[in-house]
């Protein structure tokens, strides 16, 4: 779901960067030294998961795990996603530096929304409700990221409309997979380390 360099117009790149800034500001403020090891671990998980991708025109389909990041890290998901995207752009040329703001926005804000929607339920640690709600939220997070990315692609002109539609279609099955993965992870963490949900 990385948008590559040289596709979006300058105003769209600027809008993505500006929209990302409030979430990054709040996220970095919440990133205390005590929380850094956990954040770094999940950042690396996000980094690795989204390395395996299937090219679709100017973008790609791959696991995101941004819903899971949002559920566990809360506001810290934004800087975690931005750091992972920066490393991917520098080391593997996935996405790009100029599109970093857009890619952070499209993956980071759905993660925050996922946290806001299901954190209260997961904190209650119900063994059935928490994994189900968390999984559903994570699946919807992937779809929301797909829609936001498609909207940004559409700003590049009519030539990218088909790619935008393909992007959303390709991430529908991925959203189901991520819902299942997230539900299983939440269920396991509730048994062995429930304190991780205290974002």
In this prediction, residue 110 carries a pLDDT of 96
In this prediction, residue 39 carries a pLDDT of 93
Q: What's the rounded Cα separation, in Å, for the pair 95 and 103? A: 8
- Run of H or E including 56: strand 53-56
Asked whether residue 83 is assigned to any structural domain, the reply reads yes
In this prediction, residue 35 carries a pLDDT of 92
In this prediction, residue 199 carries a pLDDT of 62
Asked whether residue 105 is assigned to any structural domain, the reply reads yes
* Alpha helices per DSSP H over the chain: 10-29, 36-49, 66-73, 77-92, 100-123, 129-154, 161-192
Asked whether residue 5 is assigned to any structural domain, the reply reads no
In this prediction, residue 27 carries a pLDDT of 96
The phi-psi region of residue 16 (left if phi > 0; otherwise alpha if psi is between -120 and 50; otherwise beta) is alpha
Domain that holds residue 155: 10-197
pLDDT tens for 141-171 read 999 999 999 899 999 888 788 878 887 888 8
In this prediction, residue 127 carries a pLDDT of 85
Asked whether residue 156 is assigned to any structural domain, the reply reads yes
Show the low-confidence residues of the chain (pLDDT under 50): none
Report pTM: 0.90
Asked whether residue 157 is assigned to any structural domain, the reply reads yes
Asked whether residue 1 is assigned to any structural domain, the reply reads no
Asked whether residue 4 is assigned to any structural domain, the reply reads no
**Widest pairwise Cα distance in the chain:** 50
Q: Mapping DSSP to helix (H, G, I), strand (E, B) and coil, where does residue 58 land? A: coil
Asked whether residue 2 is assigned to any structural domain, the reply reads no
Number of domains in the chain: 1
Q: What CATH number did the domain enclosing 62 receive?
A: 1.10.1760.20
């Amino acid at each position: 779901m990385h948008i590559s360099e040289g596709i979006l117009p300058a105003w769209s790149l600027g809008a993505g960067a500006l929209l990302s800034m409030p979430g990054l500001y709040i996220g970095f403020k919440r990133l205390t030294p005590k929380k850094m090891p956990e954040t770094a671990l999940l950042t690396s998980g996000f980094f690795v998961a989204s390395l395996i991708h299937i090219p679709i025109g100017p973008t790609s389909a791959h696991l995101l795990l941004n819903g899971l990041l949002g559920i566990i890290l809360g506001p810290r998901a934004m800087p975690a996603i931005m750091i992972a995207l920066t490393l991917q752009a520098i080391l593997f040329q996935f996405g790009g530096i100029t599109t970093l703001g857009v890619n952070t926005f499209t993956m980071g804000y759905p993660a925050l929304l996922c946290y806001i929607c299901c954190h209260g339920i997961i904190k209650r640690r119900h063994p059935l409700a928490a994994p189900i709600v968390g999984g559903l939220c994570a699946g919807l997070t992937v779809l929301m990221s797909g829609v936001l990315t498609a909207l940004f692609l559409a700003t590049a002109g009519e030539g990218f409309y088909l790619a935008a539609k393909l992007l959303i279609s390709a991430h529908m099955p991925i959203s189901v997979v991520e819902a299942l993965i997230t539900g299983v992870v939440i269920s396991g963490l509730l048994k062995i380390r429930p304190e991780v949900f205290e974002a």
